[in-house]
Amino acid sequence: MAKRTRTTTSDAVQILYRRYYEGRPERVRGLADARARDSVARKLTTLRLRAGLTQRQLANLVGTTASAICRLENADYAGHSLAMLNRIAAAFKQRVENRNRNKGQALIYGLY
């Protein structure tokens, strides 16, 4: 049997990737989904803060509650609706993109 050789690295991200994700496509997909949710949450928070709005003010602007905006700004929240993201995007003069990476995977939305 051939011995596997690996290049050594001191890059912590590479070490963690090899240990927990390499050869595990379901984990890689989960990581990609988490990154997409984080991206939406960060973008929404950034847009709101740059506009100088509180969560309550943004909620009133788009016709929802402050708690709904709070949930949308949470990277762990996976219940983003396209209708709500479109209303928020319109308030900030942005657009929503639907990024469906591969067939059968969850739809990924983003504000751009």
Nearest 5°: phi and psi at 75?
-65, -20
**Per-residue pLDDT at 4:** 66
Full pLDDT tens readout for the chain, 112 residues = 566 666 777 889 999 999 999 999 999 988 888 888 888 899 899 999 999 999 999 999 999 999 999 999 998 888 888 889 889 999 998 888 766 555 444 444 566 5
Distance CA(13)–CA(25), nearest Å, equals 17
Tokens of residue 56, six digits: 């309550």
Query: Are 70 and 92 in contact, with CB atoms under 8 Å apart?
Result: no
The one-letter amino acid at 106: A
Q: Report the half-sphere exposure of 93 (CA within 13 A, side-chain side).
A: 2
pTM tops 0.85, yes or no: no
